Amino acid sequence: MNWKLEISAGKPGYHQIVHYFERKIVSGELPPGNRLPPERELALQLAVNRSTVSAAYEELRARGLITSVQGSGTRVSELLWDTSERQAPNWRRYGGGSLFHPAEPYYKRIGQALSLPGIVNMSLGELSPDLMPLARLAQLSGEIDYDRPFSYWTNSRGDAWLRETLSAYLGRQLSIGAAPGQLIVTAGVKHALYLIVSALLQPGDTVAVEGPSYLYAMQVFTPAGIRMVKLDVDEHGLIPELVPELFRRHRIKMVFVNPTYQNPTGTTLPLARRRRLLELCTELGLPIVEDDPYGRLSLSAGASLPAPIRALPGAEQSVIYLGTLSKTVSPGMRIGWIAAPYPIAERLAEAKSRMGYTTSHPGERLAQRWLASDEAESHLAFVTDALARRRAVMLEAIRKHAAACTARFAPNAPQGGFYIWLKLRSPVPDKELFEACIRSGVIVMPGLIYGAEKGYLRLSYASVNDNLIEEGIARLGSALRSL
């Protein structure tokens, strides 16, 4: 390390050390998992007292940038789960300071890798274009009502006709009773999460999130100063009995769950656990935020899915339900919704108004036309048939090309949704696995992005055409064998 302290800078030495490492970590020059010099060694290099380095490292730990484990030294953080029972506020997080997320270098690298010729991308969580009803959406676009004005001064909950259609759709297809006044139209799930965070939580609050979870990767909570604690999962999904302990230790304010075909693990929470989770959260006065983007994407003929948590008796006042058209129609439509108790719906509508008045009026009216059309259900059947076929192709390709390198996948073969969650037989660092895959011509999502331990990866069969799936898995097998 050639960097030296600036004695004349007028800034304490430990502040300079903090700033130096923070800049290196946030920029990606020091990627997750990289080892920092031992305190004694760095003190000698910089010609300062060891206590100066100790103070700097303590500040970097408090900011979540580094972790120290006895026997393995001090390294750049790979995970952002908060495990401390009490933690002083990280005021820099609230004051416009640089924010660090360990997954950010992976997102940047994916963007670079997409330009490589012949790359097979198995990282996308969206339908491939051939599964989107683009021609029918073009026809419906010509039927949109343009007589009603597109104005700021409309109901911030969203288009009244769309909310009426959504209310009927939720009741008919998911047994969820939600009146139009309880529905907020959003620009997708991430928009819904921002509304919930801004309207219902405060900096310093703590929430429980399934671990692993795509919500960990969304980068919604940390920038808002919200602490995330992990709600552990097993092969059946989250473990409800852990909630009271998290409440006691961390005073959690909400529980965020994705109980049906969970992203990334593909698990579906059994009905008994859904009821138990609702029971425990009701006793503790904890709201549940239930995200359900994949709930209608069952890929097993005749499978009987548990009811959404929001549809269970007594859930209407305790559960905020999130839905979207992104996973069944097209992500580019940017149409989602929140079903919430009336007082909460009012607060969320106010937050939406403060953030940007309304969602897209043409988009809302197109979504209303789609949900009211005869094609909506037939298209869903077409999509689930295609996804079931692709899932079978991917599972067979894994058996053929990568089974020797994976500890399990068949027990976790998803019954619906978009993803296969693989555990490696011999875990390797996520960065090494990720780069080996790119060198072999395939992009996958390492488990670290979702807050998982080393040795996991997520594969999407939704975004890859049938004929590319086996080629992509063959390349994955080659990468795994090279490690």
- Statement: residue 153 has pLDDT above 90: no
Angle between helix axes 271-284 and 243-250 (nearest 10 degrees) is: 30
- Mean pLDDT, range 327-343, rounded to an integer: 93
Q: Are strands 227-234 and 206-211 parallel, antiparallel or unpaired?
A: parallel
- Banded model confidence at residue 90, pLDDT cuts 50, 70, 90: low
What is the biggest distance separating any 2 CA atoms in the chain, rounded to whole angstroms? 75
Stretch 367-393: mean pLDDT:
94
- Alpha-carbon Rg of the chain, whole angstroms? 24
pLDDT at 241 over 90: yes
One-letter identity of residue 290: E
Q: Strand, helix or coil at 143?
A: coil
Please tell me the least confidently modeled range out of 51-65, 187-201, 260-274, 446-460.
Answer: 51-65
Mean pLDDT of 210-232: 89
**What average pLDDT does the segment 171-195 reach?**
94
Mean pLDDT over each residue of the chain, to the nearest integer = 88
Amino acid 412: pLDDT: 58
For residues 45 and 1, which has the higher predicted lDDT (pLDDT)?
45
Residue pair 107/442 in contact by the 8 Å Cβ criterion: no
State yes or no: pLDDT of 74 exceeds 60: yes
Domains defined for the chain, CATH in brackets: 7-77 (1.10.10.10), 104-131+378-482 (3.90.1150.10), 150-374 (3.40.640.10)
* Segment among 25-34, 169-178, 288-297 with least mean pLDDT: 25-34
**What type of residue is 447?**
G
Confidence label for 406 from pLDDT (cuts 50, 70 and 90): confident
Kindly indicate the confidence band of residue 315, based on its pLDDT and cuts at 50, 70 and 90.
very high
> pLDDT confidence of 224, banded at 50, 70, 90?
confident
pLDDT band at 379 (very low <50, low <70, confident <90, very high): very high
Greatest mean pLDDT among 100-114, 245-259, 407-421 lies in 245-259
Q: Are strands 254-257 and 206-211 parallel, antiparallel or unpaired?
A: parallel
Give the pLDDT confidence score for residue 253 in this predicted structure. 96
What is the pLDDT averaged over residues 290-318?
90
Supply the pLDDT for residue 411: 44
Q: Is the pLDDT at 97 greater than 50, yes or no?
A: no
Q: Give the predicted TM-score (pTM) of the model.
A: 0.85
Question: Is 90 exceeded by the pLDDT of residue 440?
Answer: yes
- Note the pLDDT tens digit of each residue in 385-400: 999 999 999 999 999 9
Q: How far is CA 132 from CA 121, 167, 467, in A?
A: 18, 24, 18
DSSP string, 428-473: --HHHHHHHHHHHTEE-EEGGGGTPPSSEEEEESSSS-HHHHHHHH
pLDDT at 123 over 80: yes
Window from 23-37, 286-300, 311-325, 459-473 with minimum mean pLDDT: 23-37
The pLDDT of residue 100 is: 66
Is 50 exceeded by the pLDDT of residue 94?
A: no
Q: Is the pLDDT of residue 261 over 70?
A: yes
**Average pLDDT estimate for 422-450:** 90
What stretch of H or E contains 254?
strand 254-257
